[in-house]
A and B are shown apart, each in its own frame.
Chain A
Amino acid sequence: MSSSALSIPYTANSARRIVAIFARETRYEFVRAMRTKAFSLSVVGFPVMFYLLFGVMNRGEALHGQMVAKYLLASYAAFGVVGAALFGIGVGLAGERVSGWLELKRASPMPPLAYLTAKCVASVAFGLIITNILCVIGVFAASVPLSVGNYVSICAVSVAGGIPFACFGLLLAMVLPANSAPAVVNLIYLPMSYFSGLWIPISLLPKWIQHFAPWLPTYHLAQLMLWVMGYASSADGIRHIFALFGYTSLFLGAAWMAFARADADA
């Protein structure tokens, strides 16, 4: 029964075609997210708004010898990167999973990694955009002294630091019912950010919160941002990098389990 008509005419996906698929998928994911004003305006707008309110308004102020506007630049960049990942992937993917769109994509010849990569790259891109806007505001509106080294480092941390939260978004997308996804993500994102010292510097928060904060992934991202901005208040950045690696593995593992379970129950 096996004739040439039966077997795949196996044109093994040439490397060029695969790259083209990844590139196209990523480009359109980003374009789509940008066009969805409800997402793009709020995910960029909130960190910018908070920075203007708390950072720029207080330009010139210092706290424990730290320049408020510079400190908050780092912490709001972290806030923005996390938000881009949790809302972009967490909410977006949850919706696509529940509506059946993800199933359509999975039934197509699309390499599954292309879809995931596109989502991750798009959310990291948003994180980078947020960081850049904050840097511009910080330098020109609040006279934050930002060296080229600082700028490059903070962008690098935005990219690398977005990955653990992209994985967190993946996990949330697998387990959250789509209707309640935005609300649940907010309920996780906002308190987690507050307790990590992203809004009010961690040193100003009560002792018990300071004690608890290292359990939160956002705390480690914020400390990493501060470290590259020249704040030696955290012990050393390596510790935070390891913590973020740990969280990434945890989120990925849990997302994988949730995925396998969904398949068995489908």
Chain B
Amino acid sequence: MNAALEPIAANLQSAPDWASRTAVASLRAVTKRYRNGVTALDHLSLELLVGEIVVLLGPNGAGKSTAVKLMMGLTSPTGGQVRVFGADPRFAGNRQRIGVMLQVGRAPEMLRVREHIEIMRGYYPRPLPLISIVRAAGLEGLESRMFGHLSGGQKQRVLFALAIAGDADLIFLDEPTVGLDVEARRGLWAQIRALRQRGKTVLLTTHYLEEADALADRIILIDKGRVICEGTPNEVKAMGSKRTALTADAYQEQPDAQVTGFKILKFETTLKREQILTLSGVTGVEGATGFVTVTSSAPELTLRELLALDPNLSRLQIQTPGLEDAFLALTGRD
């Protein structure tokens, strides 16, 4: 990880909120090596806390699926320890508080929706009532339909129903909104937030960064088998902007910059780069002569000073840093 980012990461980890919450699942220095020599996870550690939505992000091949499979008990680590609710998830009995939604190519088509749900309910000691499950997954009216006769979106909703059927305290959702239209996606987001309201923990993997931004309490960014960044969506975006923006001097000045309220300012100016760097809140300046891109942690302050210095400033744009830019910057793939 970029040496300049370490002070920020350290700050985030010591935030008081973290220490007081209990962990429902953890990977501790986990390594997973496959027989063909591929190392999927390399001394990776992460924790999931009570009552939060965590989104696991990372490029393909980063190790996300492996990390999730370890927590679901589907495979064993080569090194390190996996614990879910204090126990080893590889034993079926220890999975009674876990619900899972996976991308499934084909589920048994000649079973009715309610039969699928009944089977899954039966595995848990205290499942939700069928009616609640059907309502939460938006499957009213479809209970007696054969799974094979459902549309793609309806099948996704049945898979979601299976994940919540057991009233699990930890729910894994793998790409839950793939193939859903906007309305269905928003509906599912509402359900996921409702789960968090009830004190459940949700671990989500997704390729839709918009979804990560909208849902996550915390994002964990994984690449090449290691955690490279962790934080709220705003924090991750900030880390991403800082990485692209930068000078070591700017960091020295603002080691504990407010990470919310980070903005990207783009404008045309006659001011020199060195001048702009001295302004309040500026963390980085980029750009060709005339049109510059400035990242600032105190945009209003910066703007006020800029406008005072250069009354002819024009073509101003103010942008919120995107998760996608942060993602690309942090995984070094831009």
Question: Which of B35, B95, B111 is in CB contact (< 8 Å) with A265?
Answer: B35
Given contacts A1-B22, A111-B92, contact A24 B118 (CB under 8 A): yes
- Produce 1/0 per residue, B86-100, CB < 8 A to A: 110000111111101
Pick from A2-10, A163-171, A225-233, A245-253 the stretch touching chain B: A2-10
Q: How far is the CA of A263 from the CA of B73 in the complex (A)?
A: 11
Shortest CB distance A41–B (Å) = 13
Shortest CB distance A218–B (Å) = 29
Question: Which of A11, A103, A104, A112 is in CB contact (< 8 Å) with B125?
Answer: A11
Q: How far is the CA of A34 from the CA of B96 in the complex (A)?
A: 30
Question: Which of B50, B72, B97, B108 is in CB contact (< 8 Å) with A101?
Answer: B108
Do the beta carbons of A8 and B119 come within 8 Å of each other?
A: no
In A1-53, which residues have CB < 8 Å from any B CB?
A: 1-3, 5-13, 17, 20-21, 24-25, 28, 31-32, 35-36
Shortest CB distance A22–B (Å) = 10
Q: How far is the CA of A264 from the CA of B125 in the complex (A)?
A: 31
- Residue B69 at the chain A interface, CB threshold 8 Å: yes
- Residue B162 at the chain A interface, CB threshold 8 Å: yes
Q: What are the residues of chain A within 8 A of B93 when measuring CB–CB? A: 8, 10, 12-13, 109
- Residue A99 at the chain B interface, CB threshold 8 Å: yes
- Residue A239 at the chain B interface, CB threshold 8 Å: no
Q: What are the residues of chain B within 8 A of A5 when measuring CB–CB? A: 22, 50
Q: How far is the CA of A36 from the CA of B110 in the complex (A)?
A: 6
Shortest CB distance B213–A (Å) = 27
Do the beta carbons of A8 and B85 come within 8 Å of each other?
A: yes
Shortest CB distance B74–A (Å) = 6
A11, A104, A261 — most chain B CB neighbours (10 Å) = A104
Q: What are the residues of chain A within 8 A of B50 when measuring CB–CB? A: 5
Q: What are the residues of chain A within 8 A of B22 when measuring CB–CB? A: 1, 3, 5-6
Q: What are the residues of chain B within 8 A of A7 when measuring CB–CB? A: 85-87
Nearest-CB residue, chain A, relative to B73: A107
Do the beta carbons of B123 and A108 come within 8 Å of each other?
A: yes
Number of interface residues of B (CB under 8 A): 47
B22, B100, B119 — most chain A CB neighbours (10 Å) = B119
The A/B interface has a contact count, at CB < 8 Å, of: 114
- Residue B270 at the chain A interface, CB threshold 8 Å: no
Do the beta carbons of B100 and A1 come within 8 Å of each other?
A: no
- Residue B122 at the chain A interface, CB threshold 8 Å: yes
Do the beta carbons of B111 and A31 come within 8 Å of each other?
A: yes
- Residue A95 at the chain B interface, CB threshold 8 Å: yes
Given contacts A13-B93, A103-B74, A107-B100, contact A265 B108 (CB under 8 A): no
- Residue A216 at the chain B interface, CB threshold 8 Å: no
Q: What are the residues of chain B within 8 A of A101 when measuring CB–CB? A: 104-108
Do the beta carbons of A265 and B98 come within 8 Å of each other?
A: no
- Residue B279 at the chain A interface, CB threshold 8 Å: no
Nearest-CB residue, chain A, relative to B169: A5
In A92-116, which residues have CB < 8 Å from any B CB?
A: 95-96, 98-101, 103-104, 106-112
Shortest CB distance A102–B (Å) = 10
Given contacts A1-B22, A11-B125, A107-B72, contact A99 B106 (CB under 8 A): yes
In the assembled complex, 9 residue pairs joining A and B whose CB atoms fall closer than 8 Å, in A order, are A11-B125, A21-B123, A28-B111, A35-B110, A35-B146, A36-B110, A103-B102, A112-B92, A266-B74
Query: Which 4 A-B pairs give the minimum distances between C-beta atoms?
Result: A99-B105, A35-B110, A99-B106, A107-B72
- B residues adjacent to A (C-beta < 8 A): 22-24, 34-36, 50, 69, 72-76, 85-87, 92-98, 100, 102-111, 115, 118-120, 122-125, 146, 159, 162, 166, 172
- Contacts beyond the supplied A9-B125, A107-B72, A112-B92: 8 A-B pairs with Cβ under 8 Å: A10-B93, A31-B115, A35-B146, A99-B105, A101-B105, A103-B102, A107-B73, A266-B75
- A residues adjacent to B (C-beta < 8 A): 1-3, 5-13, 17, 20-21, 24-25, 28, 31-32, 35-36, 95-96, 98-101, 103-104, 106-112, 261, 263-266
